[in-house]
Amino acid sequence: MIAENVGLNEAQTRLRNHRMFLAERFAKGHSDAGPLRIEHGLSQQHLADNIGVRCAMVNRLLRSWRDRG
């Protein structure tokens, strides 16, 4: 269970960093005005490949972030 949490935290950090990179390149709007919409056209599988995790992990993290607002 501990190893799973470490893996989840590492994946979350890598995905967050990759999303920040994508936001710098593709974001619409201004970061101080609320949520950004990142229109990059990449699939969850492509995001997963870029950060070295399974697509299911990216899906779980994105869903978790969406649910938390």
Give residue 1's pLDDT. 44
Mean pLDDT by 10 residues, the chain (69 residues): 62 91 76 67 91 94 89
Give residue 44's pLDDT. 93
Taking the whole predicted model, whether its pTM rises above 0.85 is answered as no
The answer to whether 19 and 38 are in contact (CB under 8 A) is yes
Q: What is the DSSP string of 26-44?
A: HEES-GGGS--EE-----H
Give residue 2's pLDDT. 53
Dihedral, CA atoms, 57, 49, 47, 42, nearest 10 degrees? -140
Domains of the chain plus CATH, in order, are 2-67 (1.10.10.10)
Which two tokens mark 65?
Answer: 């972030």
